[in-house]
Structure 1
């Protein structure tokens, strides 16, 4: 089944206008009912004693009713004097015995005495409605008084207030041109208010529609801000208008999603490149290892002892390179996963630095490189994960030794910077070009002047070091000048006494 689709503005307009007209209608009905009730109560209170005075002041009623024709003439005369009244005399059962109206006009021969008795007993609760003899289903306000014949109740004088003639005059007044014009003014004013509300709703909901259109454009473009055609309207975040603040939040969200999307694409491209490079790096030592092992297996005893020893040594070297590469891949993947546990402890920093430097003394001596530890304070305690800190310094020192020529220097400096302990690995090596500094922490990136040696290096050391330093709550920075050496630095928090 087809149903018309209404936009938010249309649904809001229709809903509010419907509610408005409903409230107006309810108010008009309630107001009309209240006005009529108040009017009827006022008229009934004003003429409440009319029947009582007629009974006590008129000889035909004062001593009892004997002549119904004379009473009918009296009622007719009274009706001429008061056209808004109708007079009836009923017996104790409510049957109409005589009346002021013509017989053809009276549709009921009996009235309900319950309202009459209720009025005579208690007249405080008004308006009180009784039977209208000229209508089959309508009641009217009335005045009533008992009529006695001596001490015997003979019946009741029943006076309708606002009879048929009165109703006829009121109905004709309602059809008066002035009243019709007033009604037309009310209708015109209501229509004007309707269109004014529609216009206001349009103004209020237009920004929301624009925001919704922008959302649709962004979604239909595959969440690509550049090709979506979204206008990014200048929404204000300090406005008291909720739509303005929503629009500003939406713009910020679009920019954030677009930035994340670009980062995801960049990361994906880097991942593909990294996988391709690592596949190549894994294939090379694995192919070499396979070749030498197959040669050993095929030739077996035909190889000389020295040749076999050489093949085994080369195979072990490739195996070591392969294991080193796999370990670094797993380490980088572990760090990027974010599920890292720190085992912090307090220790003497200079003692750890001297121990690490001692491990590299032999390598440094082979290249006649001076490796020293220089600390402003030798009794400085820090709180960190020793294993991860040692891994960072090991990577940095391996890089420093590899890129520092013979007779060079490497220093591990410890200094106090803004209440933190700064550790710097300073070498006098080949340095890094300024345009390459921004990329050296990327996985698999190697500077153009990287020193080559007999071992295989896959360019993951600095990427791992940077992530480890991040885990330690610091950041790894680099300063370098081509041909003048490089300095890597990071900070740790000292243990306060």
Structure 2
């Protein structure tokens, strides 16, 4: 059976508590018993010696054993907690006041007696109990001499059988039972309090475990708790850290799911775009192969030109697909250097001058003479400017203008590509940089374009540590802008 952490802690606490209670009870009992025995033995240490000195029977040597037995009987009546025995020099019991069947030893060991007589400060010293063959008790002893010769010993047990009997009855009394019950109740209540504290401290950990199990089963946190910095509990902080981690995992998982969905859509669109020029190319080549003899020279030339156009469009589409894939995979390396931005702008504008003139669109750079230098990758920047001008020219009708404006501010150069084209609706601006996205009012032309230019430009500017931004108003034109670091001279 699998036990929870709280159950294991509770069982361990109960066992440890019982062990500590047992050890404490044993230790306190031993300490109490030893202290009581030492105190009683010290109190009656010289009692046997006084009896030997003051009693004529013992002081002159013992010959009247019957009289000595009567003396012991009288002394035991006066002191019920004492037992008196007269021993010979070898420890044999000669005289006592008790029924013969109560005496279970014929002799006692003299070693404890000698130890007590020679070293009285070593109390408590236990001697043999004549009424218990295996028991030992504290005692008082004194030698009995006559004319300098040892006659025997007065051996006096302190706390005899009568004492033990009375003590047992007192222990069984109601008052002591109530005291023991009160102590046991107090200890039980303490145990319950400790178990409650364990429950209180382990409950957050149990909740965290449930949350982790739910996350493992559903890959999401169902009921996130409020995380506050004022709570210094390690378990609470651990739970907050786990919830933050789970939220990040969920966000990344959702982002990956969206990217995967976008890639599937992009793949489907690109497959369609690839199929169109490929089908045209195949059709014209098959026509040339089948009807080569019947076609005139001009028709063959036109078929070849159309095939080349479709091949170039196909190559351009494939190149942009690979470029976007490299950008997303982080496989593009930068070669940044300082160069004059004005020269690059005029070179790029020169590439579109002829097509802009045929369409009736004016191209202008402001200011006309710009000597500022920037620090960037010239090839990547040329690719971005080419995409932006191509996109602006495609959506600017005849008679329109495309202005490239440079603004110097705070050590940076702001580049703006502004056209007077059809513009983009505000509800579509958020999607303009998505791959294959085309605005609803985009201009149709005969030039095949993949719809990847703005997505590629956005990623290229991110590599150049800049952000490509867009502002547009429907029917009035669009302005793309980004900032570059100005190179120091």
Tell me the TM-score normalized by structure 2. Answer: 0.86
Displacement of 1:488 in angstroms is 1.2
Q: Is the 8 A contact 1:376 1:415 kept in 2?
A: no
Partner of 1:45: 42
Task: Tell me which moved more, 158-167 or 130-139.
Answer: 130-139
Alignment partners' CA distance in 2, 1:27 and 1:330: 80
Alignment partners' CA distance in 2, 1:179 and 1:403: 104
Name the SS of the counterpart of 2:418 in structure 1: strand
Matched, 1:223 2:219: yes
Name the SS of the counterpart of 2:424 in structure 1: coil
Task: Tell me which moved more, 152-161 or 475-484.
Answer: 152-161
Partner of 1:28: 25
Partner of 1:454: 446
Name the SS of the counterpart of 1:434 in structure 2: coil
Name the SS of the counterpart of 1:486 in structure 2: strand
The alignment's C-alpha RMSD in Å is 3.3
Name the SS of the counterpart of 1:23 in structure 2: helix
Task: Tell me which moved more, 380-389 or 438-447.
Answer: 380-389
Matched, 1:159 2:156: yes
Q: 1:341 to 1:105 in 2, by over 3 A?
A: farther
Alignment partners' CA distance in 2, 1:88 and 1:139: 15
Alignment partners' CA distance in 2, 1:216 and 1:388: 48
Alignment partner of 2:430 out of 435, 438, 458 = 438
Alignment partner of 1:492 out of 459, 484, 489 = 484
Matched, 1:79 2:63: no
Matched, 1:168 2:161: no
Task: Tell me which moved more, 202-211 or 156-165.
Answer: 202-211
Alignment partners' CA distance in 1, 2:53 and 2:241: 85
Q: 1:438 to 1:76 in 2, by over 3 A?
A: same
Name the SS of the counterpart of 2:184 in structure 1: helix
Partner of 2:284: 292
Q: 1:409 to 1:126 in 2, by over 3 A?
A: farther
Partner of 1:103: 100
Matched, 1:323 2:320: no
Displacement of 1:364 in angstroms is 3.3
Partner of 2:141: 144
Task: Tell me which moved more, 69-78 or 387-396.
Answer: 69-78
Task: Tell me which moved more, 459-468 or 109-118.
Answer: 109-118
Displacement of 1:377 in angstroms is 9.2
Alignment partner of 1:404 out of 384, 396, 405 = 396
Alignment partners' CA distance in 1, 2:280 and 2:288: 12
Name the SS of the counterpart of 1:490 in structure 2: strand
Displacement of 1:474 in angstroms is 2.0
Q: 1:437 to 1:88 in 2, by over 3 A?
A: same
Name the SS of the counterpart of 1:88 in structure 2: strand
Name the SS of the counterpart of 2:134 in structure 1: coil
Name the SS of the counterpart of 1:415 in structure 2: strand
Q: 1:374 to 1:172 in 2, by over 3 A?
A: same
Displacement of 1:191 in angstroms is 4.1
Structure 1: gaps of 5 or more residues:
none
Q: 1:301 to 1:177 in 2, by over 3 A?
A: same
Alignment partners' CA distance in 2, 1:120 and 1:378: 120
Displacement of 1:385 in angstroms is 2.8
Structure 2: gaps of 5 or more residues:
none
Name the SS of the counterpart of 2:26 in structure 1: helix
Displacement of 1:253 in angstroms is 5.0
1:273-284 paired onto structure 2 within 5 Å: 273-284=265-276
Alignment partners' CA distance in 2, 1:340 and 1:91: 113
Alignment partners' CA distance in 1, 2:181 and 2:435: 82
Alignment partners' CA distance in 2, 1:447 and 1:155: 127
Matched, 1:392 2:384: yes
Q: Deviations over 1:55-80 (max 9, x none)?
A: 44445445655555544444333333
Alignment partners' CA distance in 2, 1:234 and 1:18: 37
Q: Deviations over 1:406-435 (max 9, x none)?
A: 343323322234443322222222221111
Q: 1:193 to 1:287 in 2, by over 3 A?
A: same
Task: Tell me which moved more, 340-349 or 430-439.
Answer: 340-349
Alignment partners' CA distance in 2, 1:163 and 1:271: 99
Q: 1:371 to 1:171 in 2, by over 3 A?
A: same
Alignment partners' CA distance in 2, 1:351 and 1:262: 44
Alignment partners' CA distance in 2, 1:146 and 1:340: 111
Q: 1:480 to 1:62 in 2, by over 3 A?
A: same
Q: Is the 8 A contact 1:392 1:465 kept in 2?
A: yes
Name the SS of the counterpart of 1:334 in structure 2: helix
Displacement of 1:325 in angstroms is 1.7
Alignment partner of 1:130 out of 109, 113, 127 = 127
Q: Deviations over 1:29-49 (max 9, x none)?
A: 322222222222222222223
Tell me the TM-score normalized by structure 1. Answer: 0.85
1:223-302 paired onto structure 2 within 5 Å: 223=219, 230-234=222-226, 236-242=228-234, 244-246=236-238, 248-249=240-241, 252-253=244-245, 255-300=247-292
Task: Tell me which moved more, 313-322 or 364-373.
Answer: 364-373
Name the SS of the counterpart of 2:427 in structure 1: helix
